Amino acid sequence: DAGVIQSPRHEVTEMGQEVTLRCKPISGHNSLFWYRQTMMRGLELLIYFNNNVPIDDSGMPEDRFSAKMPNASFSTLKIQPSEPRDSAVYFCASSRGLAVGLRDNEQFFGPGTRLTVL
Amino acid sequence: QQQVKQSPQSLIVQKGGISIINCAYENTAFDYFPWYQQFPGKGPALLIAIRPDVSEKKEGRFTISFNKSAKQFSLHIMDSQPGDSATYFCAAVPSGGGADGLTFGKGTHLIIQP
């Protein structure tokens, strides 16, 4: 299995531009997560899906952020308009189920997208 | 509010030495404590995890020590190797916790000097 695939790996954009990050979860995994990692705040859960349905988006910082999962093999995280403070590494992770700590529900992380907003 | 406090922020250990990373928590509802390892340019990966019904769990050179009364847990890396150089995150999950319950520490940047 190729693992969780994210694209692009690096994105540099200017303030005000729209940014779209993409994720392909591991085949057979029913849950998908979007995280943001910064030096100041560490790893933060932004939103997660189960069976393509958004379950909790309380971690999304602002209305400028939106996420979709149109099918079991693809998800996007969009920032519109982007701001310099959005600069971070964004990770997508997937798991078989939602209950962390149960056997077979380990979250597998992708390599991340490093976003720089100038 | 930082629910899981991790220290130190960075750590340098000589090859063959013992690396120790500490975490503390306040929420007594936490009942699952995983550690993640992250190499540069990669996402975090589950390394080892423990539940509070045991005080220690060992997998190879990696050991978690858990002190329920002190609400502290630590990761010990024995015979540390340069390949162990990475960022380590502790985390905690409350009982019955779903995906939103995974709370991470801020991370420890570990460097093993040859």
Full DSSP string of A5-74: EEE-SEEEE-TT--EEEEEEPPTT--EEEEEEEETTTEEEEEEEEETTEEEE-TT--STTEEEEEEETTE
Q: Which residues contact B95 (CB under 8 A, 6 or more apart)?
A: B29, B30, B31, B32
> Looking at the complex, does the CB of residue A95 fall below 8 Å from at least one CB of chain B?
yes
Chain A partners within 8 Å of B96 (Cβ): 99
Output the pLDDT for position A109. Answer: 94
Average pLDDT of the segment spanning A41-53:
93
Per-residue pLDDT of chain B (114 residues; tens, 9 = 90+): 558 999 999 999 999 999 999 999 998 888 899 999 999 999 999 999 999 889 999 999 999 999 999 999 999 999 999 999 999 999 998 877 666 668 899 999 999 999
A53: left (phi over 0), alpha (psi -120 to 50) or beta: beta
Instruction: In whole angstroms, give the CA distance from residue A50 to residue B16.
Output: 43
Cβ contact A106–B93 (<8 Å): no
- Judged by CB atoms closer than 8 Å, whether chains meet at B99 and A98 is answered as yes
User: What local confidence, expressed as pLDDT, does residue A69 receive?
Assistant: 98
Is it the case that residue A87 has pLDDT exceeding 70? yes
Q: Report CA dihedral (B36, B37, B39, B41) to the nearest 10 degrees.
A: -10
Question: In the predicted model, is pLDDT for residue A1 greater than 70?
Answer: no
Q: Kindly list the residues from chain B whose CB atom is less than 8 angstroms away from the CB atom of residue A101.
A: 31-32, 34, 49, 51, 93, 97
Asked if the Cβ–Cβ distance from A106 to B99 is below 8 Å, we say no
Beta-strand (E) ranges in B26-114?
30-38, 45-50, 56-59, 62-67, 72-77, 86-94, 103-104, 108-113
Percent of chain A with pLDDT over 90: 81
Per-residue pLDDT, B97: 64
In this model, does residue A103 exceed pLDDT 70?
Answer: no
Say if the Cβ atoms of A111 and B97 lie within 8 Å: no
Answer whether A82's CB lies under 8 Å from A16's CB. yes
How would you classify the pairing of strands B108-113 and B10-14? parallel
Give me the pLDDT at residue B93, please: 86
